[in-house]
Amino acid sequence: MAMTRSADERARTQTRIRWELLANLVRKDLKVKYQGSVLGFLWSLANPLLLLVVYTFVFQLVLRSGIPQFGFFLLSGLLVWNAFSGAVGAACGAVVGNAGLVKKVRFPLAVLPLTPVGFTGVHFGLQLAVLLLVMLGTGYTHFLGPQLLLVLPALAVTLLFTVALCFLVSALNVRYRDTQHIVEVALMAGFWLNPIVYSVALVSDHLHGAVYLLYYVNPMAGIATTMQRALYAQDPVLPTGHRVLADPGYLFYLERLGIAAVVSGLLLLLGVRVYRRLSADFAEEL
């Protein structure tokens, strides 16, 4: 009979199965999205490609930011932002969209907000790989160097931050359905407030000292500038006299990522607690 395994073993099995379940749900989302389409997965490259063309037109030609090889600068920050905002946006609907499941099956509810993280994560991986290949292919070798390693802590903090917000918004949206709309607007604002399509130098010009430090309480600011340091990796001088990157060194970014990590960690604690408390009543609120 089923009771032959020890309680410990059963607990371990349950945790392993939970990760498997998450992988299965991500796989399902991917299959459902791309099954039957001719180009399949390659469609996921269309979005960043389109943004690249449009933003290059606007910021290089029309507004003349003066950033050389603007495309690579843009994509350094844009890819990670898209991953983050895509996941958080989708997480709003993660629980309400699976209402049938939640009301009828007992399963570890924590996998629901994590599924969009996996889903956008897969896309991000593909896009990053393509970006690196294109950089190599076009002879853009600035990114080859020790600063590339900064990508690792940057992505770790992105994951932490994304997961924290996914737990929060997915749980809140069940009870307050306009969370979705608030998130949409906030993400839109966030895109512009973060130095993704422009250099952070334009901001640091106006903020000094402690206030400039506060700017990095927003984890994305630290993440975007770090990704630019790691991938774009060059620090030319703009026509206005500013430098493109936030800082030419490494420590600056590690410090900012440290702040981002603390903020994200606290948000994660909050997010998990909120999710745990609200998830007990999901089945009847949906």
Partner 1 sequence: MSDVAIRAERVTKRFVMHGQRPTSLKERLVRRRGSEDGWFNALTEVSLSIDSGHTVGLIGPNGSGKSTLLKVLAGILRPTSGRVEANGRIASLLELGAGFNGELSGRDNVYLNASLLGLSRRETDRLFDSIVDFSELAEFIDNPVKHYSSGMYAKLGFAVAVHVDPDILLIDEVLAVGDEAFARKCLAKISEFQEQGRTILFVSHALDQVEQICDRGVVLNHGKAVYDGDPEFAVGTLRKIFGTDQPKEPDEEVPDEGISFDQILVSAVPGGPAVSSFTAGEPLAVRVETTLSGRWARAVRGMQVVAMGVGDIPIWLMETPPHAQPAGPGRWAVDFVLDAPPLLGRFVLGVQLVGDGGQPLAHTRTTTAFALAGGQRGGLLRVPYSVRRQLPSEASGS
Q: What would the two tokens of residue 175 be? A: 């009870």
C-beta of 82: minimal distance to partner 1 in Å?
Answer: 25
Whole-Å CA distances, 57 to 25, 54, 187: 38, 5, 23
- The residue among 158 and 173 lying less far from partner 1, judged by its C-beta, is 173
Interface residue with partner 1, options 24, 37, 138, 240 (CB under 8 A):
24
Span interacting with partner 1, options 17-25, 139-147, 154-162, 264-272, rule CB under 8 A = 17-25
Interface map 144-183 toward partner 1 (x if CB under 8 A)? -------------------------------xxxxx--x-
| Number of Cβ within a 10 Å radius of residue 230 | 23
State the Cα–Cα distance between residues 232 and 148, nearest whole angstrom. 9
Task: Please state the separation of Cα 135 from the chain's center in Å.
Answer: 22
- The residue among 105 and 211 lying less far from partner 1, judged by its C-beta, is 105
Q: Which of residues 65-94 bind partner 1 (CB under 8 A)?
A: none
Is 193 among the residues that bind partner 1 (CB under 8 A)? no
- The residue among 21 and 148 lying less far from partner 1, judged by its C-beta, is 21
Dihedral Cα 21, 168, 77, 221, nearest 10 deg? -140
Interface residue with partner 1, options 17, 50, 129, 213 (CB under 8 A):
17
Residue partners of 93: CB distance under 8 A and separation at least 6: 173, 180
- The residue among 3 and 62 lying less far from partner 1, judged by its C-beta, is 3
State the Cα–Cα distance between residues 247 and 64, nearest whole angstrom. 22
- Total residues contacting partner 1 by CB under 8 A comes to 35
- The residue among 66 and 108 lying less far from partner 1, judged by its C-beta, is 108
C-beta of 280: minimal distance to partner 1 in Å?
Answer: 5
Where b means 16+ CB within 10 Å and e means fewer, 123-134 reads bbeebbebbeee
Span interacting with partner 1, options 104-112, 199-207, 217-225, 254-262, rule CB under 8 A = 104-112
State the Cα–Cα distance between residues 44 and 70, nearest whole angstrom. 22
- The residue among 2 and 62 lying less far from partner 1, judged by its C-beta, is 2
Is 15 among the residues that bind partner 1 (CB under 8 A)? no
Is 100 among the residues that bind partner 1 (CB under 8 A)? yes
- The residue among 14 and 138 lying less far from partner 1, judged by its C-beta, is 14
Q: What would the two tokens of residue 190 be? A: 């966030």
Is 103 among the residues that bind partner 1 (CB under 8 A)? yes
Region for 131 from its dihedrals, namely left if φ exceeds 0, alpha if ψ lies in -120 to 50, beta otherwise = alpha
Vertex 203 angle, CA 80 and 135, to 5°: 35
Interface residue with partner 1, options 9, 15, 20, 236 (CB under 8 A):
20
State the first-to-last Cα distance of the chain, in angstroms, to the nearest integer: 36
Q: What would the two tokens of residue 186 be? A: 């906030």
Using CB under 8 A, list all residues that contact partner 1: 1-3, 10, 13-14, 16-17, 20-21, 24-25, 28, 31-32, 35-36, 100-107, 175-179, 182, 280-281, 283-284
